[in-house]
Structure 1
Amino acid sequence: MDNTNKFTGKSSVYASSRPKYAEQFIQYLKNSAGLGLESIVADIGSGTGILSSQLLDIGCTVIAVEPNDDMRNTAEKLLGGNERFNSVKGSAENTALEDYSVNYITVGQAFHWFDHKKFKAECKRILKPGGKVILVWNSRVSSNKMIKENAEICQKYCPGFTGFSGGIKNMDSAVSNFFDTKYKKKVFQNDLKFTKEKFIQRLKSASYMISEDSPNYEAYISALENLFDKYQKNGFLTMPNETKSYAGEI
């Protein structure tokens, strides 16, 4: 299944509403995983450059690989002024990078869209000896009452909704099958605070978001606004969220 165009036309709202990864996770990459000034990192499925930007902040040279023109162009506008940022049109299964050319591969919020077998082969081709793959997600805390109600609303109005983050519930099994050796799983608290506008934009950036000409569009937006009003405090809604990462060799 080709997932390349799932986010076409959503780059602007994606860039403005999607959260960064927990600062503790970025410091973990720098202090424990070894990413820094000497690191060449291929950020695969890089989208609008959210993770790429944070990797640049700790001194990495980043090769952002993204197949979607809309998303990639937005990243280039936002990050193109940094001399350590490189943008490549390529996919997880065919990055167009040279053999044994990168120290690390990162994947932010995208592994669940990949053909895991083909991606693994591509990782082995482009990684230098001893290189690592780091998979990371910002994940809602599914046991939270507000998030459960949010999911029910999406299920009701969005035919393409199979769960948040493309239907990902627990990636441990898929990750275990992906890595050849032991990997390290880390979880960092990363609760997100939204205004009503940003909360609606966050849902609009999703792959399952219905179009504005859908007969359910107005009812969907109204239901989301009511959800915000129900749980907001002083004009802000706090969404329980975690940054989950998996790092290892393949």
Structure 2
Amino acid sequence: MMAKDNFSKQASIYAQFRPTYPKVVFDYLNEVVKNKNTVWDCATGNGQMARELAKTFEKVYATDISQKQLDNAFQAENIVYSIAKAEETLFADNTFDLITVAQAIHWFDFEKFYAEVNRVAKSGAVLFVIGYSMPRFEGIIDEILQDFYWNVTGPYWDAERKHLDNRLESVPFPFEKIECPHFTNEYRWTLEMAEGYFNSWSSIQHYIKKNGKNPVGEVIDKLREYWKEKQRVEFPLFTKVGRI
């Protein structure tokens, strides 16, 4: 199965407008992962997870299939970026204390990825998977954007998106599960921030390719009447955490 690259085209937008992850996520990882020598951030994108992991791990190896994503990634002396598929890397056996996957596992060949995880992880290492689906807003803004997500862009999402819509419950996870608290990301967005985020969606690129126009402008026009200067937006986060 060929790996899908749905984000190279809008890599700079992705880096600028995609949500990051709250400090409590990394506080949790620092608690459950005792040895902090090496971590593999798989499908790192622009290095959102790698940036925070580099603060407490000696070495962060961050991989992605998109060179354009890596070109927009955060740089640090102890982060090593490289091109690699999730299912096939050049890492040595028994290398990592922690493996992280943020907003990406739904694209993977699960069986092959987990085989690679078992190969490159140290005994007792942790696999941490995190993701999010459509954010929630307030009042009529949420009604407009839920319609935009499900009805306007809905037909243009890849089939793999279903795994995010059902909170990763359909993703197999053959590891000893570790208890994890519920995390939520909350922001105050301007309308311009929301527009940038929507333009980072892979479904928008598919829509443009088929229809020759971008639907984001139309929904932004609908929102102008209701949008406050800074509008509250909440990203419910969901996780799968396991001992390898």
TM-score, with structure 2 as normaliser: 0.86
Residues 67 and 89, structure 1, Cα contact 8 Å, conserved in 2: yes
Counterpart position of 2:122? 128
TM-fit CA distance, 1:106:
0.2
Counterpart position of 1:245? 239
Counterpart position of 1:185? 180
Change (3 A) 1:213 1:137: closer
Amino acid at match of 1:47: G
TM-fit CA distance, 1:11:
1.0
TM-fit CA distance, 1:240:
1.8
TM-fit CA distance, 1:120:
0.5
Counterpart position of 1:91? 85
**Cα deviation digits, residues 198-225 of structure 1 (max 9, x gap):** 1111011111113667657355412134
Following the alignment from structure 2 to structure 1, what is the Cα–Cα distance between the partners of residues 136 and 19? 17
Match of residue 220, structure 2, among 224, 230, 247: 224
Counting only pairs closer than 5 Å after superposition, residues 154-173 of structure 1 correspond to structure 2 as 154-158=149-153, 159-161=155-157, 166-167=161-162, 168-171=164-167, 173=169
Match of residue 63, structure 1, among 54, 61, 72: 61
Counterpart position of 1:204? 199
**Cα deviation digits, residues 169-224 of structure 1 (max 9, x gap):** 2245345x313323323311211221111111101111111366765735541213
* 2:41 aligned counterpart, secondary structure: strand
1:8 aligns with 2:8: yes
Alpha-carbon RMSD: 2.6
**Cα deviation digits, residues 84-126 of structure 1 (max 9, x gap):** 1001211110122111111110000001111111110000000
Amino acid at match of 2:199: K
Following the alignment from structure 1 to structure 2, what is the Cα–Cα distance between the partners of residues 245 and 74? 26
* 1:173 aligned counterpart, secondary structure: coil
Following the alignment from structure 2 to structure 1, what is the Cα–Cα distance between the partners of residues 182 and 224? 26
TM-fit CA distance, 1:3:
4.1
Instruction: Return 204-213 or 116-125, whichever deviates more.
Output: 204-213
Residues 134 and 247, structure 1, Cα contact 8 Å, conserved in 2: yes
Following the alignment from structure 1 to structure 2, what is the Cα–Cα distance between the partners of residues 97 and 125? 9
Counterpart position of 2:97? 103
TM-fit CA distance, 1:135:
0.3
Counterpart position of 2:39? 41
Amino acid at match of 2:146: A
Residues 168 and 238, structure 2, Cα contact 8 Å, conserved in 1: no
Change (3 A) 1:179 1:60: farther
Counterpart position of 1:50? 48
Following the alignment from structure 1 to structure 2, what is the Cα–Cα distance between the partners of residues 242 and 57? 25
% identical equivalent positions: 23
Amino acid at match of 1:45: A
Counterpart position of 2:21? 21
Amino acid at match of 2:16: S
Change (3 A) 1:173 1:41: same
Change (3 A) 1:218 1:245: closer
Residues 157 and 220, structure 1, Cα contact 8 Å, conserved in 2: no
Amino acid at match of 2:230: F
Amino acid at match of 2:48: I
Following the alignment from structure 2 to structure 1, what is the Cα–Cα distance between the partners of residues 225 and 196? 15
